[in-house]
Amino acid sequence: MGFLHGKRALIVGLISDRSIAYGIADSLHREGAEIILTCQNEKLKNRVEEMGAKWNALTTIPCDVGNDEQITQLFLELKKYWDSFDILVHSVAYAPSDQLEGDYIDVINREGFRIAHDISSYSLAALAKASYLMMEGRHGSILTLSYLGSERIVPFYNVMGLAKASLEANVRYLAQSLGPKGIRINAISAGPIRTLAATGIKQFTKILAYHEKIAPLRKNVTIEDVGNTAAFLCSDLALGITATTIYVDAGYHAVASMDPDMEI
Ligand X SMILES: NC(=O)c1ccc[n+]([C@@H]2O[C@H](COP(=O)([O-])OP(=O)(O)OC[C@H]3O[C@@H](n4cnc5c(N)ncnc54)[C@H](O)[C@@H]3O)[C@@H](O)[C@H]2O)c1
| Cα distance between residue 33 and residue 6, in whole Å | 6
Q: Which of 120, 58, 50 is nearest to 91 (CA)?
A: 120
Sole binder of ligand X in the list 132, 147, 156, 247 (CB under 6 A): 147
Sole binder of ligand X in the list 112, 140, 192, 227 (CB under 6 A): 192
Q: Does 229 bind ligand X (CB under 6 A)?
A: no
Q: Closer to ligand X at the Cβ: 46 or 84?
A: 46
Instruction: Confirm if 87 and 234 have CB atoms less than 8 A apart.
Output: yes
Q: Does 193 bind ligand X (CB under 6 A)?
A: yes
Q: Does 66 bind ligand X (CB under 6 A)?
A: yes
**DSSP assignment, residue 148?**
G
Q: Which residues contact 222 (CB under 8 A, 6 or more apart)?
A: 23, 193
Q: Does 57 bind ligand X (CB under 6 A)?
A: no
Instruction: Confirm if 128 and 185 have CB atoms less than 8 A apart.
Output: yes
Stretch that binds ligand X, among 16-24, 130-138, 228-236, 254-262 (CB under 6 A): 16-24
Stretch that binds ligand X, among 15-23, 50-58, 209-217, 252-260 (CB under 6 A): 15-23
Instruction: Confirm if 9 and 85 have CB atoms less than 8 A apart.
Output: yes
Q: Closer to ligand X at the Cβ: 93 or 178?
A: 93
Q: How far is the CB of 229 from ligand X (least distance, A)?
A: 12
Q: Closer to ligand X at the Cβ: 3 or 232?
A: 232
Is 22 annotated as catalytic? no
Stretch that binds ligand X, among 86-94, 97-105, 230-238, 252-260 (CB under 6 A): 86-94
* Torsions phi, psi for 9 (to 5 deg): -125, 125
3-state secondary structure of 263: coil
Catalytic residue, candidates 147, 210, 247, 252:
147
Question: Looking at the chain, which runs of residues are DSSP E strands?
Answer: 8-12, 34-39, 60-62, 87-90, 140-146, 183-190, 244-248
3-state secondary structure of 43: helix
**What is the C-alpha end-to-end distance of the chain, expressed in Å?**
46
Q: Does 94 bind ligand X (CB under 6 A)?
A: yes
Q: Does 126 bind ligand X (CB under 6 A)?
A: no
Is 210 annotated as catalytic? no
Contacting residues toward ligand X, per CB under 6 A: 13-16, 19-21, 40, 64-66, 91-94, 119, 145-147, 190, 192-193, 195-198
Q: Which of the residues are catalytic? A: 147, 157
